[in-house]
Amino acid sequence: MNLIRKQSPFFPSLIDDFIKNDWTVKVPAISSTVPAVNIKELDNQFEIELAAPGKQKGDFEIEVEDGVLSISSTQEEEKLDEKGKFTRREFSYSGFRRSFTLPDSVNLAKIDANYKEGVLHVLLPKHEEAQPQPKKLIKIR
């Protein structure tokens, strides 16, 4: 049984001719290899949440260089010895790299990260001078 519907032989497709009926051709899915990110600014810090389910905390590398924060993960593709032949394979085991330009207000010495339940949390504290200061009343003399 073929799970992929093919074109009628009366209307051959250029795609069918190109891949010559070999449905195991690997086409990189660019959009699915870059994890989604949420960035939140609070009074005292920035928070980055990066969705990366199925990873371990040791799979990540976070570095800061020249005011740019880079989060990356590289993973070798696993060669699985399985019975049968794939008719389509979309699971991706490739790595990724996301980079963010940091504002001057971030205290680079206090950046912290943790990985929990498939989400990498990166905390970027602000310098004391960049945080909102409490209201100060000036006494008139």
Which pLDDT does position 134 carry in this prediction? 81
Which pLDDT does position 26 carry in this prediction? 47
Query: What global pTM score does this model have?
Result: 0.64
Which pLDDT does position 24 carry in this prediction? 45
Which pLDDT does position 121 carry in this prediction? 97
Of 37, 46, 36, 43, which Cα lies nearest the Cα of 111? 46
List average pLDDT for each run of 10 residues in the chain, which is 141 residues long. 44 48 46 81 94 90 94 73 73 80 93 95 90 82 86
The fold of 14-77+86-130 is Immunoglobulin-like (2.60.40)
Which pLDDT does position 98 carry in this prediction? 93
Of 63, 61, 62, 73, which Cα lies nearest the Cα of 33? 73
